[in-house]
Structure 1
Amino acid sequence: MVQGAERMIIGIEKGFIKNITRVALMFFWLGIIILVPNNELEKEYVYPVVQDSERIEQIVMTLPQIQFHYAGRFHDSYANPIEFAQFTMRKSAHMVLYGFLGLSFVWVLKGFGVNGLRSWIIAGLLVLAVAVADETHQYFTDGRTGCIEDVIIDVVGYIILAFIVLSLRKFKT
């Protein structure tokens, strides 16, 4: 009887540590999104890399011309290839960050017994809520703009990463 109780306690401790790890990872991704202003990252890391790179400009110019409106601005890959590369890198980073945030939400939910499709849907709704909150905050911050297009980009990042993870799981089995 004592041995069974010890196993149960050890199992609870392992589960607790696992859940703490899951929650810590979730807060890590939230922290990156909320605490690190994107403008500072862009100026410090993205702009210097792209600004002085003739190679990136050459790569953009070899691609078919891409033109579109985004958040009230017109983007043209041939008219300004450096700006286009910077824009693409920033939005790709958004997709990746929110994708991993969503996966961490799924992981936390599963740790607390929410499984299957339900965990993926709830995680998607949480990603949407964080994206809306972030863009709302940006809208009211001087020097920043909040826009619905960024919310869509963020949620699409989660959907793509969720699709990849779920597809890989099906492929494994």
Structure 2
Amino acid sequence: MNAQSAVPARSRKLPLALWTAFLFTGSIALVYVLSSQPYDEQTLQPWLGNNITVYDVHDWFPKRTVHYGGQSIPIHEQPMYFMDFLFRKSAHVLLYGGMAVVAAAVWGRLLRSLPLTIGCSLLTVLLIALLDEWNQQFSSRRSALAADVWLDMAGAIIAVSLYAGYRFYKERNNKSIHTQEGKKHA
């Protein structure tokens, strides 16, 4: 018997619950800090200019124009701006996807129902995304975009779908293991 198995299961879950709450609170704080910063403080263009060349961008992407949130970005005419845009929007998907999984972990502990967990997680992330865009209205050189909320929710839906698939698989395997054990003892 190892030391951890001597600790009641409820005691082992408390640190996980605290860690999850810390991650969720930290991700909300990160969103707030980032959405409060002016664009000039967040831009990756100087770093990108030192690490990739215009020719790299021309090789990686076709000569197209990307349209997003009422803005047009010609890839080959503004390559560093486009790469900055690409990194920033990818960050939206990843951050809100991660936040949705953490929210699902929190809601899953409270609700125990996977459909309710998914719904509450997505509503929580939607609320945070809306508040993020509302906050950006008050930051210099930032604008609130409905397209960003859609992008945030796309990340959340993808991540929560993966989380739900994992939970479904895990629960199905646990039931299968318990059924097999019951047959052995019969």
The TM tier, using the shorter chain, reads: 0.7 to 0.9
Correspondence for 1:3? none
Cα contact 1:103–1:162 (8 A) shared by 2: yes
Query: In 2, distance between residues paired with 1:141 and 1:123?
Result: 27
Runs of 5+ in structure 2 lacking a partner?
1-6, 174-186
Correspondence 1:60 to 2:57: yes
Q: Secondary structure at the match of 1:142?
A: coil
Count of residue pairs the alignment pairs up: 163
Q: For the residues of structure 2 that align with 1:12 and 1:54, how far apart are their CA atoms?
A: 50
TM-score (norm. length: structure 2): 0.75
Question: Displacement of 1:52 after TM fit?
Answer: 2.9
Structure of higher CA gyration radius: 2
Tell which deviates more after alignment, 79-88 or 10-19.
10-19
Give unmatched runs, 5+ long, in structure 1. 1-8
What amino acid sits opposite 1:135 in the alignment? E
Q: Look up the match of 1:132.
A: 130
| Higher mean displacement: 160-169 or 139-148 | 160-169
Report if aligned partners of 1:139, 1:147 keep a CA contact under 8 Å in 2: no
Q: Secondary structure at the match of 2:20?
A: helix
Distance in 2, matches of 1:22 and 1:11, equals: 17
Residue 105 of structure 1 corresponds to 103
TM-score, normalising length: structure 1: 0.79
Please report how far the alpha carbon of residue 96 of structure 1 lies from its aligned counterpart in structure 2 after TM superposition.
Answer: 0.7
What is the Cα deviation at residue 103 of structure 1? 0.6
Tell me, what secondary structure is at the counterpart of 1:79? coil
Q: 2:42 & 2:121 partners in 1: Cα distance?
A: 27
**Is the contact between residue 22 and residue 111 of structure 1 (CA under 8 Å) also seen in structure 2?**
no
Shift of 1:11: 4.0
Contact 2:111 2:117 (8 Å CA) reproduced? no
Deviation, 1:166, is: 4.1
CA distance in 1, matches of 2:10, 2:168: 30
- Residue 149 of structure 1 pairs with residue 144 of structure 2: no
